[in-house]
Amino acid sequence: MLNTKLQGLIAAPFTPFDQDGELNLELIPKYYQFLKQNGIKGAFICGSTGEGVSLTRDEKMEVAEAWAAAGKNDIGFKVMTLLGGTCLADCKALARHAAEIGLYGVSFTAPSYFKPSNVSVLAEMCAEIAAEVPEMPFYYYHIPVLTGVNVNMIDLLKAVDGKIPNFAGVKYTHEDFMDFLSCMSFKNNKYDMLWGRDENMLSALVLGSRGAVGSTFNYLSPLYIQLIEAFEQNDLKTAAALQQQSIDFIRLLGKYGGIATGKAYMKLIGLDCGEFRLPVKNMDAVAFKHFKAEVENLDFQTFKSKDFLATDSHR
């Protein structure tokens, strides 16, 4: 299990909240089925998209338990949770909890307040947490745009190699293709490198990536599945056109306020995950009306993920 290379699309789910901003765990079983039916191979929960930094430790445990229960005995659907990064003790406790409830793996990202001074310190933190769950795959989550910790991942792999037996790989959410390829090539492709920039997936595929974690996979999985198929058939013209389509949808995230726009997309496919917690700003009703019109102009109906459960219930 520790040497498994994940393949296909792994969604970064939104944490569902009710109208009062509290956890809406009842939605997660349907969310799991929705992802499965749209060709998604796993879930990376409580990450950036999942607002892990805005959840309490208890809430993270509740979310993890709900996903573990939803995907129980489904070995084809891998669920891993982001432990956090700021408090080492909390990360260790959450890792042990993830093992107890049967999640596939855990992930850790660099602290964003007291930052590690160098790659050796970061590797030491990884080692302490990974040692709590020696039988689980442990991934580092590289997202320097949010953590402010921009060390080369090839240096981290060199620092942990042979020292952390369950270090499985890196969720790579950055644009440094030179570093990414070096990581892919290290020790004959020893580590699992999961691509994390949806808008650059085609470039990562060219370098050899076969697994990706993304937020837009929640509502645009057919688009990315078609993109991968076109690439595998060496139809680069079609693959590039589909990547551009992905970019067009992603540009609307920035135009309408950023990460919270993802939950607006989810409302359009019939899976209402509520709103983002502060300090993230959500769009108002007027903005949502304009957003919806722009989305439809991009032929969203062709590329969107389908809610097959809703379709079946209306037959």
Under the banding of pLDDT at 50, 70 and 90, the label for residue 2 is low
pLDDT in tens, 134-181: 999 999 999 999 999 999 999 999 999 999 999 999 999 999 999 999
Of 32, 141, 172, 191, the active-site residue reads 141
Does any domain span residue 74? Answer: yes
3 is a domain residue: no
User: What pLDDT, in 10s, does the model give residues 257-273?
Assistant: 999 999 999 999 999 99
Pair type for strands 138-142 and 78-82: unpaired
Whether 1 maps to a domain, the answer reads: no
Q: In this structure, what DSSP letter does residue 23 have?
A: B
pLDDT class of 1 with cuts at 50, 70, 90: low
∠ CA 105-30-209, rounded to 5°: 40
The answer as to whether 290 is a domain residue is yes
Q: Phi/psi class of residue 248: alpha, beta or left (left: φ > 0; alpha: ψ in -120 to 50)?
A: alpha
Whether residue 132 contacts residue 92, with contact meaning beta carbons closer than 8 Å, is answered with yes
- Residue 85: what pLDDT? 81
Q: Residue 171 catalytic?
A: yes
Q: Is residue 2 part of a domain?
A: no
Number of domains in the chain: 1
Q: Tell me what the mean pLDDT of segment 74-90 comes to.
A: 95
Catalytic residue among 78, 171, 263, 304: 171
Q: Are 152 and 127 in contact (CB under 8 A)?
A: no
User: Rounded distance, CA 303 to CA 38, Å?
Assistant: 11
CA distance 185 to 182: 5
The whole domain housing 252 covers 8-313
**Is residue 193 in a domain?**
yes
Return the pLDDT at 307. Answer: 84
What is the separation of C-alpha 60 from the centre of its chain, rounded to a whole number of angstroms?
A: 15
CATH number, domain at 28? 3.20.20.70
Catalytic residue flag (residue 92): no
